[in-house]
Each structure stands twice: as structure tokens, then as C-alpha cells.
Structure 1
Amino acid sequence: MRTCSYISAAAASPPLRQQWPGISWRHHSRQLQCRRSQQGYSAAGTRHDDLDDQGDSRLRQNAGIFQPSIWGDFFLGYSNPAAPNSLPQQIQMEERADKLREEVAEMIASSTTTASRLHLIDALERLCLDHLFEQEISAVLAQVETADVSDCDLGTVALWFCLLRKHRYTVSPDVFVRFKDDEGGFLVDSPKDLLNFYNAAHMRTHGEVILEEAILFGRRRLETMIPYMEGSLAHEIKSALEIPLPRRVRIYESKYYISTYEKDATVHEKVLQLAKLNSNIMQCHHQHELDIITRWWKDIQIESRLPFARDRVVECYLWMLGVYYEPCYSRGRIILTMIMAIAVLLDDIYDSYATPEECELFTRCIQSWDSKGAHDLPECMKFALEKILDSYETIENLLQPEEKYRMPYLRYFTDDLVRSFNIEVKMLQEGYIPKSVEEHLKVSIRTVGSPIFSCASFVGMHDIATEDCFHWVSSEPKMVQALSVILRLVDDLQSYEREQLIPHVASTINSYMKEHNVSIEVAREQIHVLKEDSWKDFNSEWLNPDNTYPKQLLDRIFNLTRIVEFMYNQEDKFTNCHNLKDTIHSLLVEPFMIHT
């Protein structure tokens, strides 16, 4: 039985909409527009007559730091031109996809050579089709794990190694020893083989010297090749040097690979047909979810009159789409996006708007889960508090009676988040710089949000997320700790200069400079080294056989870590959200035109 079925996932959508309380779906968009017009809201959704002089002053202090999102109400009632116009058409499209799925499944079963099987699985993963073939892929990997690859070329061995490690097989890097040359390098026949080797080496753990050597050798050689490469291979090399393949978010690149494989004619036509159809089916689901999420967020913005909130709900959804894109995880995506949007809202309150005294009071109110003690807060913060509490009730209403035990875990991490935010406020107020990176991380890995996101990624999943799994994730295991450190370090590396423009809590870069009495340039280099060490920690836990929890759950944490690399590669894309425009448009707006 497969995890995700098109028809079963589609059938789940109407009940999800019915479960959502307090929203009149058909007329809500029109009501929002009327209410905004009647009550005098600005373009940002803020009532001019509700901001007192003190509030205006606070806003001016941070004006222009954050780009506004360009999406606004775009996804409210958005009609996908590739979407079927009726239920029979929808069923026909899904039946066509199911037929293609059966034909591709036969292709997987009929593949005979190790190389052909590996390349087919690799293509299915890059096209985001692997969730349709979980049983078939698992069967193939179980067989190829013991395959003799001693006569295979470097590229095939690297693909074998990378795929198996990505699926939690603890294969040894000793398979690469025979490719070493007498000068300390590696015998490589082609740029493609070298690229596969370089990517595979990033599944390394501590002490795997040959993989460390492969990364150094591969990067040096690939950088020299780029000027002489063109086409898709040049794009692949450049992408790998920015973010190695095992760390990339597959859904963000899936449409690129559909177009590339079609142009290069390297993948069977039926696979490409299924990929396009699957992409459009998933896009319809995602647009429906964005409609729900946008309505929820606009309700918070307009009713709460929050002048300090970054409008990032579409970007939050993109982030969580990378955690799980499959249609069957619709509820999980919606819940996780809500939690991230709330976390961003809380971050803005503590970081950019509230006074230390207000932060203390706001923290106590969140921890008591009661807004009655908020009478001394500014009106907009009172509304924010009420809307946050209401949203947690909304999330709880989305859970079945037997799943409601999950809410205390989510509330625990929310308490922990605001408590940690409040500690940072006090650190800023006192001008305190932690004397070491280790001391800094005791607080800052919590404010970066990874613990709450890891927990929240389980909340909307189904029976596979048991109470034992929530005990595990709430203990903040080493895998979650490694994710948290990676996110904190890459965030600090990309946001350091921007945060110097305003009063801001010290970063890990400041702490490293203080601890080792070094320049900012040296501190940056060493923070990057610490980040790579944390990736080794993460990979070690990923391959740890003692982590007996379902791979479907561990994948959520791995995907969160991948998204971190994407969002903070070369810049802070989440803050500079205009740089996500093309990715969002490609994934969530632009369909494949398929001729029937």
C-alpha cells in the first residue's frame, strides 16, 4: 500500500476545509476587502487611527529593513489554468496519472543492471515522483545494497553510495579507495563522474578521511572546469558548488529537471509525462492550501492590526512545502505553515517592536495561555496574543480526538520559544555578548525555531506519528540539535551585516570573535567550519541504527535542514523575500500545459 494516492489525497480536501472553523469560505475574500475599505486600512493592513504616536515611533525605527512580500491576496481564489473544471475531469486526470504510475512501476521492476536501476531511482527522486513508488524503490535498494560495484565506474559507485546513504544504509566509503591515484587525487573519467563523487562525499560523517579528500579534490577540479562547461552539466556543477545535491530541496528543483530531462532525452517519455501530470496535480493541492493559509493570515493581520508583522505567509508556505510536498500531507503543511508564521510574528514582536517590559508581560501571557493578563500591553499586541491563542485552538480542531495529545508538546515548544526570545531581549538590553559560541548556542538554537518546527512537522501527520515519536522529538535529540546549530550558524553568517544596522542581540560571530580574539573574517571562516562539522553530526544521526523511528518522520527533520541551506545560501532569502519570487511562481503559479 503506497503512502500517497492521488484520489485519496484529493478526497481528503473537502473535509479539511469543513474542519476549519470561523471562516466563511465562499464570501470571505469579499468581506475582507469591504472591511478594509470601510475601516481605513493602509496597504499593509494597518489602521491609521489605531497607531498612537509611540507605535508610529517604534515603526519608524525599523522602517525599510524588511522587504514587503509581493504576493498579498494573490492566492485567494486563484484559478489554475491547468486545473480540471469539474470533479469528473479531476478524476480523469488522476486516473491517467495512476495508469502512468503502473507503467513506470513496471519499468522499475524490469530494470536489470545496477547502473540502470540507480539512474532511474535518481531521476524519480529529482522529479519528486519517488513517493509514488516507495515499495518499488525500497525493494531495489535492498537488492543493490549488496551488489558488487567493484567493476563499476566512479560515477556509478558514487551514485550507489549517495542513494543508499540518503536512504539510511550505512555503506562504507572504502568503495572509493580503488579510485585513488599515487598523487593523492582520484582517477576520474568524466566531469559527470566527478560531480557524482563530489555530491556523494557530502553524506560524510566524522573521521571519513577519504570523503574529506574527495570534497577538496572535487571542488578544486570542478571550479576549474566551469569555464569550459555549458548546458545542463554547467548548471549542475554550479549548483553543486553552491549546495551539494544531498542538501538540496528536491521540490524546488523538480520542474527544472523535468524540462532538462525532456531537452536532453535522458529519461523515458512515460516518466516525463507522469512527472508533468504529478506536478500539476500537486500544484492544485498546494494552491488550495495557500488559499486557506492566506485567509487565515489575512484574518490575523486585519483583525489584529499588526503594524510590526512581516507579511511572509506565502514564503512560510514555500519553506514548509520543502518539508513535505506530497498531497497526503496537506494537513501537516497547513499546520506547520501556521506555526512558522506565528514564530515569525513572535520574532518581530520581541526583536523589532515591544519594549523589554512588554516582552516580559507578553511572555507570561503566552506561558499561561491566557490573554486576561494583557491589559497593560499595546492594543495591537493584545490582538496578536488573542489571535495566536485562537490559532492554536484552530490547529487543535484539525486533530482527531485520539490525536489531541499532540497539542501539549506544541505548546511546550511555543513556551520555550517565547521564553528564549525574552532572554535575548534582556541580553540586548544589557549589551551582553556570550563569551563563547557554546554559551551563545544554549539560547540561540532555541530562538532560531528548529525545535518547535521539528515538533510541529509531526503534529499534522497521521498514525505514523505516535506519542513515542513526540516524546523523542521533545527530548531534542542529536538530530534536532544538529539542525538547530546549522540553522543558527547559516542565519548568522548571512544576516550579520544587516543586523548591525539596528540594535540587535549579539550573533555567534560576535561570540567567536570575543572567545578567540580574532577578526570578523577569521570568525566567519570558523563559523562556516562549525557548520560543516554540524552537518557531519547530522549525517551521523541520520545513519545511526539506534534511531528506529520511521524514516517518514526523520525525513521531515532532514528536509528542514535542507531548506536552511537553500534559504541562507549566499544571502538571507527569507528576509529578502523578493529573491524567492521566481521559485514561488514556478512551483505554485505556473503549470505544465499538457495535451490530452
Structure 2
Amino acid sequence: MFHPTTKSKNCCFALNHHLPRRAASLKTNLALTADATTPTLQEVDRPLAHYPPDIWGDCFINLQFSDSEFESCSREVEVFKGMAKNMLMASSKDPLENIFMLNTLYRLGLSYHYEDEIEQQLSHLFITLPELMDNKDYDLHTTAIIFQVFRSNGYKMSCEVFHKFTNGDGLFKEEVASDIQGMLSLYEASQWRLHGEDILDEALAFTTSRLESMAKQLTNPYLADYIEKVLHRPYHKGMPRLEAKQYISFYEKDDSRNDTLLKFAKYDFNRVQMLHQQELKVLTSWFKESNIETRIPYARHRTVECFFCAVGMFFEPRFALARKILTQWYVATSLIDDSYDAYGTYEEVQHFTKAFKRFDIRAKDELPIEYLRTLYEVVMNIFAETEEEMSKRGRAYSVDYTKKELMKMVQLYDVQARWLHEGSRPTFDEYLEIGICSIGGPYTMALCMIGIEEADETVYQWAINPDNKIVRLSGLLSRLYDDTQTDEEKRGEISGRDFYMKHYGVSKEEAIEGLSRIACFLTVIWCGNYSIEEFAPKIQQVIDWFGQLQALELTAMAVPLELFDPESLIKSASTSLNSKVVSQYSTLLAPLAVDSVVSVVDPEKPDLI
């Protein structure tokens, strides 16, 4: 929690760990026989994962909440909110001051208070942008901030504004490297580059190398730490609340800070955090009262982590219902996934799949074993509660669309279970077709829209369209990432690595490298500026989140390429070209592609391939 007049303390809800990876282990247990017409049990080896227990216990259930502290904080927020609004409106008289004000509000996590005002100001500023940029000789820092503010809000500001900082060869002038503030802003601006914007590719390479060197040489620990944080994760790729908390800590050390905005940011952060803690108290109590941990002991029990993911999507107070729905459905999906992957036999999950097609609580009694009945009941109860809530709001369609996507995903779980049971090995392409949806891309997109009032049926029809390239590519990237990070095959489960190894006749290590190269190639396509419908800002934010999530995950997947290793380059190109359309020509096209790239690339700047 932040203290408005003192140095900030650590946020008590800043999670710094990920869900534990699966650990392979087999354990003898009871299961249905393959030919059972009645519930006959026999000893069987189950692919148990032995997930670590929930580390939180009753921490949030027992969390004390001070109404007086919350009310006091809320009063302060309202006072500072009015003061900041006056400052925002006054800044509109000076375009440059206005843009810097907007940037500060974004970074401090305060912009959600003024969404309408900010949109109006940005629209006006963008109209006057040519005059703003042509008549002023702004320095690098100022230019980069202007670029960031517009690009981050969906305005296609031209990257040509950075040409004046380059020499005749298209390289950035060395004299700008001494401007630390400008280099930091240019680095962050380069994160908004689109495919084909060479000057921003050059900006990324130029600033990365210089900033890495600066961080090691600076005697100012505050500035060195800030540079390292920026290089580690650009702010727009992080979780908004954590990024705001980090920036508040840096901002209070900035001599040019606005103390009114700083105090506002601290009070607001504390107030929102208290709201989140209250919501988490309710959700962890729900999980405990449902007795899920005892009734489904083999699965991951990660209510807190699921809520943390929901906060990453919707932190604003008005999305409390969205966070609740998202957390409960994430919990349910995790239980289903673990039942298929880490406990159920093929015969058992067949019964569950059949019942799930009905999606009717009465089908529970037809399930032959208790853990399946419990799982089914949990899912049906969450669905019924969500449907009732959305029906009151006239948005029952949102639950229906989400239910259908979940049913599709569970059926694909069953397909994968059948592959494993029958020992069949489809082609790598066939696996990906199933894996794109079984990873939950369309389902998650539909689920995230439930709590957004602006998400009408038009949005849902767009989101679940099988030809939707954004959702499909997101699912593909998620699947590739998952297949390079998990160890399903150790428990006898299927994995993309296994299919890739068989398809191309390579080792496990080579398969991981191949999958990583495909994913890195696809990130270029992701940045290809797909046009999307004109949706409400929050809906576009959700869509953007899918791309940012994949970009964040893929950082760890990047495989460096040796420019002067033709064999490695051709192998990478062949992998990238192995789509259904051109795979039969990959051996011909790959060498041509490599020759073309090598003939034009600058050996001193191989990162710009």
C-alpha cells in the first residue's frame, strides 16, 4: 500500500510467481473398466501431476477490511480527482503540455477516471498534429512521447517524425545517444512499431544496445534501475496495476514531478487495491465453501492466481462483476483441464464429454464416478449463476456464446484424449488445427467479453468467427508457447513437440527450437496491423491484451539466428514456410528466401533481419 506522504511500501498483492509447471508422476488409483456398462472399478495408473498446494491458505479470507480507512481514502480520491481534472482541462490550451499531461495520467494509472475527456482531447490533437509537428523543432524525448501517446491510443501517427534524428544512411545520430531521457522514450516508442517500419526497427536496436551499456555505467542507482526495468518489460506489455505501482515509485523520485498527481495516484492505487482485496476475500470464501479442494483434490486450486489474471484484464472498479465472472470461469476451466490431463482415464472423460454436450445439471446423475459428478456440478452452478446475472442485464446472449465455445473446447480435449488412448499420431498440421482451439483462444475471448456492457452480439459474432485472424493467431501462439514450456509427454500425454519430432524426424531439443522459430515468425504477422471493427475502447483493450500477452510470453522463446550459418537459416525458413499452402515448395523457397535476405542485410545490424 502506498503512503501519500512517505516512501511507498510493497504492495501486498504483487504476485511474483507463476502457476507451477506440471510434475510427472504415476499413481495407482481406481477407475472405470473400459467395457463397463455399470460402474465397475479396477486398479489403474493415473497420470497424476502432484501440483503443489495453494500457498495462500485463508490469507485473504481472514483479511481485515477497514471501512473507515476505505471511506477516508475514497474522499481523498474524489478531492484529487477534481483537482486533476481541472489540470487536465487547463492543459488543453497548450498541445504539448496536454500530451505530457495525458502521458503522466496513463503511467500513474489514473487515465481511467477521464476516458471521455481524454478521447475528446486526443481527437482534437490528432487533427492539429501536422501543424504541431511541422512548426516545432522538438527534441527526441518530446517527439517520442507524442508518438507513444497517439500510437498507444490507436492513432496511426507516422514514424517519419524520427527521420530528423538520423543521418543519411538511415542510422540514428550518435549525439542523441547521450540523451538518456530521449533514449528511454525512443526505446518505448519503438515498441509500437508495425511491420515494415524500418526506422523503428533501427530505433529498437540502437536504443537497446546503448541503454544496456548505460545501465552498467550509471552511478545513479535510481536511473540505472529504471533503465533495467524498462528494458526488461516495456510498460504497455505489463499488468496495468503493477506498472502503475512501479511508475509511482519512480515518479516520486523525479524532481519534475507534480506532487498533486503523485498523491492522487497513491490514494487511488490504495483504494483500488482495497476493492480488489475485498473481491478476493469473497471469491476465496466461495471456493472454500464449495469444498472444491477436498472434493477435487488432484487439480490445481488457484483462485488467487485466477483473480490476478482477471485484474490484469480489468482493474477498474466498475468491472467488479467482470473480475468475479472471469475468476470463477478460469477456476472451472482449470479443473476441467486437470481432469482430462492429470487424473481422468479415457473411459471416464468419455462419460464427462457426453454429459457436457447436454450441458444440463440433470446429466450429472448419469456420470458413473463421484469426482466427475462434482466437477460437472461446479461448472453447471457457475454457469447458472452467470446466466442469471447476465439475464438481469439483458445480456444472456453473452453467456450462451461463451458456453458454446467452452463446449467446443471440451470436445477437443476429448479428441486429444482419444489420440492418446488409441496411440494415433496425426500430422503436425492436424494437431495445430485442434490445438489452436483446445488452448482456449475463442473461449477466452468470449469469456472476457461477458463483463463488458458494450460487448453486444456483433462483438461476439466477430470474436468467435472461425476466420478471425486475430483470435486464431492468438490461439496458435498460445499453443506453440505451451508446447515449448510444459512436459505432458512425461505423463504419457500428447504434446506438440511429439508431433513435430515425428513429422520432421528431429530430436526434442530441435523440436523446441523449431516451434520457437515458427512462433517468432508469427509475431511478425501479428504486428502486421490487422484492421478490426470500430469497437468500444474497453473491447479494443481486451483484443490488444491478447497480442500483448503473446508478445510477453514469446520473449523467452526467441531463438537467435546466425547470419553466416546458411544451413541454420534455411532450416528456419523451411520451418516458417511449412504451411498447408506452400509446404510442398519449402525446399525450393527456403534457399531463395535466405539468399534474398542475406543479400540486403547489414552484417553490422543483424537484428534488423
Interval containing the TM-score (normalised by the shorter chain): 0.7 to 0.9
Distance 1:108 1:434, change over 3 A: farther
Distance 1:222 1:519, change over 3 A: farther
- Corresponding residue of 1:410: 402
Residue 154 of structure 1 is aligned with which of 140, 146, 150?
Answer: 140
1:313-351: CA deviation from partner (whole Å, max 9, x where unpaired): 100000110001000000011001111111111110111
- Corresponding residue of 1:16: none
Pairing 1:93–2:85 present? no
Residue 243 of structure 2 is aligned with which of 244, 253, 266?
Answer: 253
Question: Alignment partner of 1:399: what SS?
Answer: helix
- Corresponding residue of 2:449: 458
Q: Which amino acid is the alignment partner of residue 213 of structure 2?
A: T
Structure 2: 5+ residue stretches without partners: 1-27, 32-40, 558-609
Q: Which runs of structure 2 are paired with 1:409-558 in the superposition (5 Å)?
A: 409-431=401-423, 435-436=427-428, 438-462=429-453, 464-475=454-465, 477-495=468-486, 498-507=487-496, 509-514=497-502, 523-525=511-513, 527-541=515-529, 544=531, 546-558=532-544
More off after superposition, 402-411 vs 152-161? 152-161
- Corresponding residue of 1:319: 309
Structure 1 residue 492 displacement after superposition = 3.0
Pairing 1:210–2:199 present? yes
Structure 1 residue 165 displacement after superposition = 1.7
Distance 1:468 1:443, change over 3 A: same
TM-score by length of 2: 0.76
- Corresponding residue of 2:14: none
Residue 220 of structure 1 is aligned with which of 203, 209, 216?
Answer: 209
CA separation in 2, counterparts of 1:369 and 1:260? 51
- Corresponding residue of 2:580: none
CA separation in 2, counterparts of 1:333 and 1:120? 29
Between the aligned residues of both structures, percent identity stands at 28
Distance 1:353 1:281, change over 3 A: same
Pairing 1:280–2:270 present? yes
Pairing 1:231–2:231 present? no
TM-score by length of 1: 0.77
Q: Which runs of structure 2 are paired with 1:70-469 in the superposition (5 Å)?
A: 70-80=55-65, 83-85=66-68, 90-111=70-91, 113-145=94-126, 146-147=128-129, 148-149=132-133, 151-182=137-168, 184-187=170-173, 188-189=176-177, 190-229=179-218, 230-302=220-292, 305-370=295-360, 371-372=362-363, 375-401=366-392, 402-431=394-423, 435-436=427-428, 438-462=429-453, 464-469=454-459
Q: Which amino acid is the alignment partner of residue 126 of structure 1?
A: R
Structure 1 residue 484 displacement after superposition = 2.1
- Corresponding residue of 1:68: 53
Structure 1 residue 75 displacement after superposition = 1.3
Verify the 8 A CA contact 2:364 2:373 in the aligned structure 1. Answer: no
Verify the 8 A CA contact 1:465 1:553 in the aligned structure 2. Answer: yes
Question: Alignment partner of 1:213: what SS?
Answer: helix
Point out which structure has higher relative CO (alpha carbons under 8 A, 6+ apart). Answer: 1
Distance 1:527 1:448, change over 3 A: same
Structure 1 residue 452 displacement after superposition = 1.4
CA separation in 2, counterparts of 1:376 and 1:170? 55
CA separation in 2, counterparts of 1:245 and 1:256? 10
Structure 1 residue 98 displacement after superposition = 1.6
CA separation in 2, counterparts of 1:333 and 1:58? 39
CA separation in 2, counterparts of 1:403 and 1:234? 49
Structure 1 residue 267 displacement after superposition = 2.5
Verify the 8 A CA contact 1:448 1:488 in the aligned structure 2. Answer: yes
Distance 1:231 1:136, change over 3 A: farther
CA separation in 1, counterparts of 2:43 and 2:96? 64
Distance 1:483 1:195, change over 3 A: farther
More off after superposition, 562-571 vs 221-230? 562-571
1:354-379: CA deviation from partner (whole Å, max 9, x where unpaired): 11122222111112113536645421
Structure 1: 5+ residue stretches without partners: 1-50, 572-596
Verify the 8 A CA contact 1:192 1:233 in the aligned structure 2. Answer: no
The CA RMSD over aligned residues, in Å, is 3.0
Structure whose alpha-carbon radius of gyration is higher: 2
Question: Alignment partner of 2:363: what SS?
Answer: coil
Q: Which amino acid is the alignment partner of residue 547 of structure 1?
A: E
Distance 1:519 1:237, change over 3 A: farther
1:21-77: CA deviation from partner (whole Å, max 9, x where unpaired): xxxxxxxxxxxxxxxxxxxxxxxxxxxxxx96559987974354x332211222114
Verify the 8 A CA contact 1:445 1:484 in the aligned structure 2. Answer: yes
Distance 1:570 1:533, change over 3 A: closer
Q: Which amino acid is the alignment partner of residue 399 of structure 2?
A: M
CA separation in 1, counterparts of 2:203 and 2:269? 35
Distance 1:352 1:303, change over 3 A: closer
Q: Which amino acid is the alignment partner of residue 383 of structure 1?
A: T
- Corresponding residue of 1:37: none
Verify the 8 A CA contact 2:235 2:243 in the aligned structure 1. Answer: no
Verify the 8 A CA contact 2:195 2:529 in the aligned structure 1. Answer: no
CA separation in 1, counterparts of 2:224 and 2:502? 41
- Corresponding residue of 2:606: none
Verify the 8 A CA contact 1:432 1:506 in the aligned structure 2. Answer: no
Verify the 8 A CA contact 1:300 1:384 in the aligned structure 2. Answer: no
Structure 1 residue 430 displacement after superposition = 4.4
- For these two proteins, the number of residue pairs brought into alignment is 508
